[in-house]
Amino acid sequence: MTEAAPDGQYDAWLDAIEAGEGYYLECANGHGWLPPRRICPECRSRDLGEERLPDSGKVTTHTTITVPTPQFEDDAPYVTAVADFGSVSITGMVRGIDPEDVEIGTVVGVEVGERVTTGDRAVVFRPR
């Protein structure tokens, strides 16, 4: 069986988070994005540089998913949330906290975990 090719800058970004060197891309006007980006869709700046991802972000919205796709069957129920890290927001699975206790404003750090169902890498948030 042929092994699937990595997803370029996305997998490199996960590698960086795993190594404790998480980053995001920022244009000259302070718009933040996740890779790959060649242009800022907000201001069309092509001058995007890597900035260090802050150690923690705040949950801006969240849901506890009880009806998953097959790729997350054994993960459910799980919490998916969007967290605000300043110039950039990230979507991840929240672990290390009872789903009932996740709130808008919960402070989280970002790491790379594994999906229970498939063993694939996943962006994981943990309360800080």
List contacts with another protein (CB under 8 A): 7, 10, 33-34, 41, 60-73, 75, 78, 80-82, 89-93, 104, 120-123
Residues 1-40 that bind Zn ion (CB under 5 A): 27, 29, 31, 40
CB nearer to another protein: pick between 121 and 126: 121
Backbone φ and ψ of 91, nearest 5°: -100, 135
Backbone φ and ψ of 12, nearest 5°: -65, -35
Backbone φ and ψ of 103, nearest 5°: -135, 160
Q: Does residue 88 touch Zn ion according to CB under 5 A?
A: no
Half-sphere exposure of 43 (CA within 13 A, CB side): 12
Burial zone of 26 (CB within 10 Å; 0-12 exposed, 13-18 middle, 19+ buried): buried
26 binds, among Zn ion, another protein, none (CB under 5 to 8 A by kind): none
Q: Does residue 45 touch Zn ion according to CB under 5 A?
A: yes
Nearest distance from C-beta of residue 52 to another protein, angstroms: 19
10 binds, among another protein, Zn ion, none (CB under 5 to 8 A by kind): another protein
The one-character DSSP state at 86 is S
